[in-house]
Structure 1
Amino acid sequence: MRFPLCPAAVALAFAVQPVLAADEKKSDAAESAPEKDVPPPVVSVTKHKGMFGGQAVSYTATTGETYLKDKDGKPLAAIFATSYVKDGGDPKTRPITFLYNGGPGSGSLWLHMGAFGPKRVVLPDAKDDGAPPYPIVDNPESLLDVTDIVFIDPVGTGFAHALGKKDPKDYWGVSADAKSIAEFIRIWLNENGRWNSPKYIGGESYGTTRSVALINELESSYNDVAVNGIILISTILDFAAPAEVQGNEMPYVLNLPSMATTALYHHKIANPPATPAEIAQQARDFAIGPYAAALLKGNALAGEERARVRAELARLTGLSEQFVDNANLRVTPGRFYKELLRDRGLTIGRLDTRYTGVDYDRAGEEPDNDPSFYAIDGAYTAAINSYLRDDLKLKMERDYVTIGGVRGWDWKLQGQGGRDGEVYVNVAPYLSRAMRENSGLRVFVGQGWYDFATPFFGAEYAMNRPGFDPARIQFHYYDAGHMMYVRPEDLAKLSSDIRSFIRGR
């Protein structure tokens, strides 16, 4: 049975509708409004002048936070960045370069204060940095004569952090990290009117992995950000090949040339060649020939063949035949760091094997620590904090996270499922695809002869696969390690090489 509504009820129904609508609007506004505990971004803008690459440049430095937001405009995370933009530059012809470091979990202070920023910290070459004060000087090797530069700190590094209740782990993964940096770059291009500028991206160490994951985010959709060049410094793209697990023979092949250059540097090779390049080539030839064949034969290797391989391996590594025999012709990097100079009571570095350290005793299996890292970390930490707060007038209460603030990194690649997604992390196919689909994309690769964190032969191997165009890949080598710019001569060479790379577009 149907009951007609009385006039009072009809009036009440119409009166309630506007109230409900108003309540819904309030709810929508509350969801889209910034959380109460999220302050506005901290930003500082200053003007400067300097001499870079022999040219006088006036530029604007902008340092501070950029908020990443959800579709409703709610801030989720703050990316921290410092940009240097030439005053009066033509956005149609003036390149812009986005740089970051690696880790994952490292701030951009190393490239910023060591290589390409307008100021740099001075360190004694291959020696302990000691205690402050550390000299912070003008850096004529900065690239500001040929490109504007943006140094980026991803979430969990530097001053970058998640906002409100957002979990920072949502940004801690190969693909998630690359997405966040791609979003930042799009925001920066929007705010600075630089969509049609020549563009370069680049990083060091894991930053090279980030660069290649990033190019996949920038150029693999219809809303592309086309890139002119990728700068890879101390490169690692394939994490499976060098994985130190029993049964994987590739690490021994890829590490051998770095062992040979290191042995040459420390005068452990009899009748040595004149240059690292020469011993590196000898080691490459042996590694992919007799040595690889010997490793693949496993227990079937015996007799005279084993003796020949053992003798040449000992010669190239500077270790005794007895030691390499005891190691079954498979010397791990950690053992090499400890054994090479054991007779001198010294260990060698991992990031840069030119550096030496003294352990608690000489009897250990591996070094107590990496002398090439503890020899520089104090100086860089002091330099970035002093420079940002004093020179660039940044008012920031947070601590600058240099490295180590990120945990539980997700190594799975987006779209890569099944067993491959669990065990074989290799972003190199992203790069080969990007090169095939962007004929203007070129790649710069800079490697140190004495780097064991990202050995040069590993970088060569990753980009010598089918699908790459070798004519658009430049390899450059330096007489230092992972952070080759700590050596003044190699800072100048690295700067010159990249300057030429950018000019050659």
Structure 2
Amino acid sequence: MKSKLAVLMLLAISSAAFSQDADKAPAVSKERAAELQASERLLKADAQVSKTGQVTIKGKLVPYKVTAGTQPVWDKDGKVTASLFYTYYQRTDVSDKGKRPLVLSFNGGPGSASVWMHVAYTGPKVLNLDAEGYPVQPYGVKDNPHSILDVADIVYIDPVNTGFSRVLDGKADRSRFFGVNADIQYLAEWVSTFVSREGRWTSPKYLIGESYGTSRVSGLALELQNAQWMYLNGVVLVSPTELGLKRDGAVDDALKLPYYAATAWYQKVLPADLQAKDLKDVLPEVEAFTTDEFLPALAKGGFLDAQKRAQIAAKVARYSGLSAEYVLQNNLAVQPQQFWKELLRKQGKTVGRLDSRYLGIDKTDSGDKVDYNAELTSWLHSFTPAINQYLRVDLGYKTDVKYNLFGDVHPWDYKNENTGENLRLAMAANPYLKVMIQSGYYDGACTYFDAKYTMWHLDPSGKMKDRLRFEGYRSGHMMYLRSADLATANDDLRDFIRSATPAQNAPARY
């Protein structure tokens, strides 16, 4: 009892002393108090900060306003359940923004923030990198002379639990956000609200998505039409996924070979006659072999004639940079993990998954799996400090919420993934809608030839193939990290936006 009483007395004395010290302490300035209030762990559901800037694109000065902020996600009863962070760039010397194209940009994962295309591809700021996309110091961003801001306004959107976006209602059902179709449904509602708030209903509208973001925007194209009555002019698929279009077994195995050939060419391990050719002269030959010989051979499985098997293995080895013996040991179907480990095994190097220009070193040269993804480590090295500094300091968005380059969105519900069919339906119902695919030849996660297959099978009837376009680049999953491809890919986007924006009073009709 005495010890408890002593403790209580000590606490009282300490409290009084603290109170006296506080009375003597100088008052906190109003500016600092406001800053402290803004810097809180709980994301504000609806708050924005804006700044102005200018960038020179194609030799012309483009003034702009950038807004970094949050906009709520509501449930069916109008209760705020989450909030999404976005960064919105508007060109300010435009007289009628209702006629100006608007690009809505999403990345993938699922669980990845919008940072990648925001500060490395289409926005007015771009990472400080070397010409091939490797990190350099000091970290940060610089003006992007290739940005598409000259032809379109852009909003970069972070889905729930990516970037600064968060679930705000602790009782909210996670399944409402974290699944193929749930993701599409709440994002369509969010986009509709954003367009209404910003007065952009009459603007030609474009969706761009990267990696899993291509599934997201393909589904959104139909959901926006059917649930929000919003019709698009274009959808851009950067390093697309399968979009729910099945390609199991022999088809899946065969489609990898052109990527293997591109990687082997870049790493200079092809036979001398192929190595002497340009990449774009090698790939058509490999693609023709893949569809005309390799795929039929794989389809026969274990009943393929032994002599034919040896012939196919020799050609696969010729195009992949692997040995015929290794190809035969894997029944002609070498898997990507094996390829990344095997290709440069004798050199003691591995190649990157998302971009096979990047090299890694493993603890041992044996085995069938790499220790780490060399390219992703490199990217996180440069992206993480740059986006945090840019948003928090340069744009003045004050928060202590962690910026999630990759957030917790699992378990993700992949059931009923029909986004490719959704995109086809959206195109069929909207004669204005065009689609462009952009792929890097050195991407081993979403290979360029798999992307071509997606394009071929998106519309089996072939009636809309004149509204589908493919562009390939000499880099990987994030083709824009290589400075030459940053320029070319943005030019392709600029051309696509202009070509998919119809002339005034041109009707949408068949």
TM-score by length of 1: 0.86
Q: Report what 1:274 is aligned to.
A: 277
Q: Between Structure 1 and Structure 2, how many residues are aligned?
A: 452
1:399 corresponds to: 402
In structure 1, the residue matched to 2:480 is 485
SS at match of 1:92: helix
Is 1:499 the counterpart of 2:494? The answer is: yes
Change (3 A) 1:113 1:127: closer
Partner of 1:286: 289
**Kindly tell me: are residues 240 and 467 of structure 1, through their superposed partners in 2, closer, same or farther at Cα, counting changes over 3 Å?**
closer
Q: 2:439 aligns with which of 441, 447, 451?
A: 447
Deviation at 1:38, TM superposition (A): 8.2
Deviations 1:281-314 (A, max 9, x none): 1221111121111111111112321121111011
1:80-139: per-residue Cα shift (whole Å, max 9, x none)? 111011124212311000001100000000000111121111223557536x53142111
CA distance in 1, matches of 2:383, 2:448: 25
Q: 1:430 is aligned with what amino acid?
A: N
Query: 1:126, 1:355 within 8 Å by CA — same for their partners in 2?
Result: no
Residue pairs, 1:311-460, within 5 angstroms: 311-413=314-416, 425-460=417-452
Aligned counterpart, 1:252: 253
Asked if the contact 2:245–2:420 (Cα under 8 Å) also holds between the matched residues in 1, the reply is: no
| 2:301 equivalent to 1:298 | yes
Q: Which residue of 2 aligns with 1:215?
A: 221
Q: Within the alignment, does 1:110 sit opposite 2:116 as a pair?
A: yes
Q: Which moved further from structure 2: 84-93 or 489-498?
A: 84-93
Could you tell me whether the CA contact under 8 Å between 1:83 and 1:150 is conserved in 2?
yes
How far apart are 1:360 and its partner, in Å?
0.8
Q: Aligned partner of 1:452: which letter?
A: G
Identity, in percent, stands at 38
- In the other structure, the counterpart of 2:60 is 55
- Which stretch shifts more, 87-96 or 73-82? 87-96
CA contact (8 A) 1:53 1:143 kept: no
Say if 2:436 and 2:496, in contact at 8 Å, map to a contact too. Answer: yes
Report how far residue 412 of structure 1 moved. 1.6
- 1:201-260 per-position Cα deviation (integer Å, ceiling 9, x unaligned): 111111111110111211134x410000001111113456466xxxx2222111111001
Distance 1:412 1:239 in 2: 10
2:453 aligned to 447, 456, 461, which one?
Answer: 461
Counterpart-to-counterpart distance in 2, 1:306 and 1:40: 61
Deviation at 1:75, TM superposition (A): 0.7
Q: Which moved more, 1:265-274 or 1:316-325?
A: 265-274
**Counterparts of 2:51 and 2:452 in 1: how far apart (Å)?**
41
Q: CA RMSD in A?
A: 1.7
Q: How far apart are 1:73 and its partner, in Å? A: 2.7
Corresponding residue for residue 160 of structure 1: 165
Query: Contact (CA 8 Å) 2:244, 2:420: kept in 1 or not?
Result: no
Q: Is the 8 A contact 2:44 2:70 kept in 1?
A: no
SS at match of 1:78: strand
1:168 offset after TM fit, Å? 3.8
Distance 1:147 1:116 in 2: 10
8 A contact 2:104–2:156 mirrored in 1: yes
Cα separation, 2, equivalents of 1:70 and 1:330: 48
In the alignment, the residues of structure 2 paired with residue 207 and residue 54 of structure 1 have an alpha-carbon distance, to the nearest angstrom, of 31
